[in-house]
Structure 1
Amino acid sequence: MIASPVVTVTLQNGDEQQQITVKTDNRNQVKYDLLRSQKDWPGQKEAPTLWLTIIAWHALALAGPARDEPFELFNERCLEVYLSDEDGRRLTAAEVKRQAGIEADPTQPAPAAGI
């Protein structure tokens, strides 16, 4: 899992589209965990787009661009969401795996179970 990814969203604003890049943090991950348990939603691995959309919504709600906007409305306006760098450039699959610590290094011991 990428602990606090940078996420870019494309939002529909009337006839225009707005692209916003935001750095997420622990507060957004906790909000996702709370909503997931309340609504019995699937986990991050089963529904990665839902996870990204929720953490982006919460980060933007805290930062201002989506303040007081319910998730359902944000979700309807969210045309695209993806992991990015701070300039909004979409990360490649290799970059995502590297950030998540997925790439195995045969010279290093395997992580402990559950990590």
Structure 2
Amino acid sequence: MKQEEITYLLQNPAAVTLDQTAALQEVLQQYPYFQAARAVRLKGLKNANSLHYNKALKITAAYTTDRGVLFDLITSDEFNQNQIAEQIRKHEQQEKEFSEETPEP
């Protein structure tokens, strides 16, 4: 699998095909700690209703540092990590503004 194809799949995980999941498996044999490739492969297996999905889910969860992000990727039709990060920043900013507005007793 070429670097450009991997980059495209990382940017568009919902577009992964069953053939690409097989190619990602080959990449993972060479780079077993490539978390993003594991997650995209898992998304492809889920989209294809593959019998290998449950086993791959367990393995991917073991290699993943943030299972919340993995859950969002798997369950959402469109996943954009930048949008999620922006929402978190806005929420943190709102909390900060609220704490600054609240007078201390």
Query: What's the TM-score once normalised by structure 1's chain length?
Result: 0.25
Structure number with greater Rg is: 2
